[in-house]
């Protein structure tokens, strides 16, 4: 019979990958004296072969790691910077020997909000150590079972560490164990059928190599085109039924991650599921990348035949939570896996904080946050819909990428900065608006993309980073509020409503231009298409009213309490043009203690006085 040890915690987190260690640190930083345990079979010292799908952050996930977890310095010192997201399509599929053989959407400047490339194994190792230093317990073992109980009764996570057994009891249990789906399988909480995932049926193969010759990809010389590095970005090489990522993960070893996300309808698993087959695919379809990987030394290869799944419930009324890949993963196309993780982690912390504090609206928060996070993962699932047909079409995909970036920079980023994803009233209204406007529009637009591809249409290229694509010099990263300039980082300070007003308006202009170029006057005057335009303009008007209400309600509120306090402290500032004396103290410390120079002390004192007088003059 096993001699099982029983220990009690506030929260037990199953999994110490990026989601687990980030959830633990967020809890420790936001809930004083909380007792947290992490469980993972991998040792603290991760190997360089601890591979992940996708190793890149975007604006929201970088803000989470840097600002919310306090890791900006750590990221700068340990992980490469990221200069945006670039897209490339072969001019002629049979000729891909150099980067000049592609059509491009290059990022033209350093983004106003930072993002980073990432060596995830290093990140997980380092943050796990930080968590232990903050008081978290780490069990380097395997979860053999979890007993989930209804309501507020204690849950039990059964763990084996070597030959020892532990029952870790906690009211709150978080599944961050990735594709093991511990709670997902226990509760029948996973949706993985492609029919229930907007038809997404994809797999992924990837390698990491080190000591590559990066000039094979790009020389770094682009004096007329950009003010940022093209190599230290996330680069997507696009083709029929697939895209290939290029992500540098280390600046010293010149390590790079290169992988394919492919759709089984076009590229079957059997054609890329070994390193030899994957390299052969690169050689024939993206030869510049084949040359890049062959210039270095192989670290490893991995293949996942099935990527996509999502959860039915994110945060249960029975105090269990799923975050990271345990909750959902679809495709790393926009690096949104860590964004879904970010929203889930912050929601989980706020639910647990409210429940531990006995706040009366804790259950209401759980229900609303659960609905918002499920809506978020459904939207991200929808972003991959019809990729197998559209990825390789440079014209159609450029229009699609432009539109999807309008939603991202125009609503989702300011929403996150202002912590509106934690505001119950806003989430209820935004969820209803999103379902009725955004989802309906995007569903029809993706169908129209398919129709235009079948017709062989060429609408020209929509260049994501330029300001000459739509009227009024619109560009996707345009600022309508001063939340970056005035550090409006406290909850409900960033004016998300002015962004929503403008985004709905400019999406309507985008749609008008798209219909005119793709379908002419008949498409523009179609009743269904006119209905979408009217709803977008109506939503823009409603958001304008919300903006006025927001401005009235915050009229006497400082944009930043931190800046307001600094200004208040500055009121007592008084210019005092003197320095504090230091020479005399240094000299006194350097005098011998044997008494031989006692007679010289008065002379030194007089000299110091004269020097001090000169300094003041």
Q: How confident is the model at residue 55 (pLDDT cuts 50, 70, 90)?
A: confident
CA 530 to chain centre: 35
CB 400 within 8 A of CB 391: no
Query: CB neighbours (10 Å) of residue 297?
Result: 13
Section 557-581 average pLDDT: 94
CA–CA distances in Å: residue 565 to residues 210, 319, 323, 419, 561: 49, 39, 36, 21, 6
Section 52-63 average pLDDT: 88
Name the nearest CA neighbour of 267 among 398, 381, 385, 389: 389
Whole-angstrom Cα distance, residue 101 to residue 104? 10
Half-sphere exposure in the Cβ direction for 74 (13 Å, CA)? 18
With a CB cutoff of 8 Å and minimum separation 6, the contacts of 185 are none
Whole-angstrom Cα distance, residue 249 to residue 118? 5
Which pLDDT belongs to residue 434? 75
Q: Is the confidence at residue 449, as pLDDT, over 60?
A: yes
Q: Where are the domains of the chain?
A: 1-77+117-190+312-377, 81-115+202-305, 411-553, 583-616
Q: Which two tokens stand for residue 49?
A: 């072969």
Section 21-47 average pLDDT: 94
Whole-angstrom Cα distance, residue 448 to residue 461? 16
The answer to whether domain 1-77+117-190+312-377 has CATH 3.50.50.60 is: yes
Residue 600, classed as helix, strand or coil, is helix
CATH architecture assigned to 81-115+202-305: 2-Layer Sandwich (3.30)
Which pLDDT belongs to residue 52? 67
Section 413-421 average pLDDT: 97
Q: How confident is the model at residue 3 (pLDDT cuts 50, 70, 90)?
A: confident
Element (H, E) at 169: strand 164-175
Q: Is the confidence at residue 139, as pLDDT, over 50?
A: yes
Phi, psi of 154 (to 5 degrees): -70, 135
Greater confidence (226 vs 49) lies with 226
CA 55 to chain centre: 10
Greater confidence (2 vs 425) lies with 425
- Angle CA 233–69–339, to nearest 5: 50
CB 208 within 8 A of CB 246: no
Encode 304-333: b = buried (16+ Cβ within 10 Å), e = exposed: beebbbbbebbbbebbbbbbbbbbbbbbbb
Question: Considering the entire predicted model, what is its pTM?
Answer: 0.93
Q: How confident is the model at residue 589 (pLDDT cuts 50, 70, 90)?
A: confident
Q: How confident is the model at residue 497 (pLDDT cuts 50, 70, 90)?
A: very high
Whole-angstrom Cα distance, residue 264 to residue 388? 8
Residues 173/176/180/185 CA torsion (nearest 10 deg)? 40
Which pLDDT belongs to residue 110? 86
Q: Is the confidence at residue 126, as pLDDT, over 60?
A: yes
Percent of the chain with pLDDT over 90: 88
Section 353-370 average pLDDT: 97
Q: How confident is the model at residue 598 (pLDDT cuts 50, 70, 90)?
A: very low
Name the nearest CA neighbour of 407 among 282, 518, 322, 496: 496
DSSP state of 326: G
Section 513-536 average pLDDT: 96
Q: Which two tokens stand for residue 477?
A: 């990263």
Q: How confident is the model at residue 588 (pLDDT cuts 50, 70, 90)?
A: confident
Whole-angstrom Cα distance, residue 85 to residue 382? 20
Name the nearest CA neighbour of 123 among 173, 64, 168: 64
Least confident of 57-71, 136-150, 533-547, 597-611: 597-611
Least confident of 167-171, 173-177, 602-606: 602-606
Which pLDDT belongs to residue 599? 46
Section 172-191 average pLDDT: 97
Q: Which two tokens stand for residue 385?
A: 């819909």
**Beta strand 142-147 with 155-161: parallel, antiparallel or unpaired?**
antiparallel
């Amino acid at each position: 019979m096993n001699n099982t040890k029983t220990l009690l915690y506030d929260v037990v987190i199953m999994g110490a990958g990026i989601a687990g260690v980030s959830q633990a640190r967020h809890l420790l930083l936001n809930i004083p004296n909380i007792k947290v345990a992490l469980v993972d079979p991998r040792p603290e010292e991760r190997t360089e072969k601890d591979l992940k799908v996708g190793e890149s952050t975007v604006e929201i996930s970088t803000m989470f790691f840097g600002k919310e977890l306090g890791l900006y310095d750590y990221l700068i010192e340990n992980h490469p910077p990221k200069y945006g997201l670039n897209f490339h399509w072969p001019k002629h599929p049979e000729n891909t020997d150099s980067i000049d053989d592609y059509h491009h959407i290059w990022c033209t400047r350093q983004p106003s909000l930072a993002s980073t490339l990432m060596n995830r194994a290093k990140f997980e190792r380092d943050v796990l150590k930080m968590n232990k230093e903050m008081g978290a317990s780490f069990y380097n073992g395997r979860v053999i079972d979890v007993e989930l109980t209804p309501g507020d009764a204690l849950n039990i996570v059964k763990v084996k560490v070597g030959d020892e057994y532990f029952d870790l009891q906690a009211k709150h249990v978080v599944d961050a164990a990735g594709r093991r789906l511990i709670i997902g399988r226990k509760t029948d909480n996973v949706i993985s059928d492609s029919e229930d995932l907007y038809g997404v049926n994809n797999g992924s193969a990837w390698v990491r190599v080190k000591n590559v010759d990066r000039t094979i990809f790009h020389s770094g010389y682009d004096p007329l085109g950009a003010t940022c590095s093209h190599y230290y970005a996330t680069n997507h090489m696009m083709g029929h039924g697939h895209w290939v990522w290029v992500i540098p993960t280390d600046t010293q070893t010149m390590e790079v991650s290169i992988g394919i996300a492919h759709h089984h309808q076009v590229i079957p698993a059997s054609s890329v599921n070994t390193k030899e087959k994957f390299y052969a695919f690169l050689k024939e379809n993206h030869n510049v990348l084949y040359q890049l990987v062959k210039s270095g030394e192989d670290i490893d290869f991995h293949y996942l035949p099935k990527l996509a799944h999502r959860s039915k419930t994110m945060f249960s009324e029975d105090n269990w939570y799923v975050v990271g890949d345990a909750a959902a993963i679809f495709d790393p196309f926009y690096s949104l896996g860590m964004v879904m993780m970010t929203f889930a982690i912050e929601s989980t912390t706020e639910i647990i904080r409210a429940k531990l504090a006995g706040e009366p609206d804790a259950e209401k928060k759980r229900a609303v946050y659960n609905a918002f996070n499920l809506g978020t993962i459904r939207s991200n699932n929808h972003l991959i819909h019809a990729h197998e047909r559209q990825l390789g079409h440079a014209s159609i995909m450029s229009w699609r990428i432009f539109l999807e970036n309008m939603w991202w920079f125009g609503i989702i980023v300011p929403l996150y900065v202002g912590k509106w994803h934690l505001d119950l009233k806003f989430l209820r209204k935004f969820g209803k608006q999103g379902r009725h406007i955004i989802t309906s529009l995007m569903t029809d637009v993706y169908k129209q993309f398919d129709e235009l591809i079948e017709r062989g249409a060429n609408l020209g290229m929509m260049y994501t980073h330029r300001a000459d694509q739509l009227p009024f010099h619109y560009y996707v990263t345009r600022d309508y509020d001063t939340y970056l300039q005035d550090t409006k980082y406290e909850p409900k300070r960033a004016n998300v409503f002015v962004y929503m007003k403008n985004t709905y308006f400019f999406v309507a202009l985008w749609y008008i231009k798209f219909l005119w170029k793709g379908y002419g006057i008949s498409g523009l005057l179609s009743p269904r298409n006119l209905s979408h335009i009217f709803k977008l303009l109506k939503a823009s008007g409603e958001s304008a009213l919300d903006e006025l209400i927001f401005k009235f309600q915050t009229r006497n509120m400082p944009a930043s309490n931190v800046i307001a306090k600094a200004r208040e402290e500055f009121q007592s500032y008084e210019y005092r043009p003197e320095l504090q004396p230091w020479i005399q103290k240094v000299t006194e410390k350097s005098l011998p203690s044997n008494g031989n120079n006692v007679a010289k002390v008065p002379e030194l004192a007089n000299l110091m006085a004269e020097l001090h007088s000169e300094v003041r003059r």
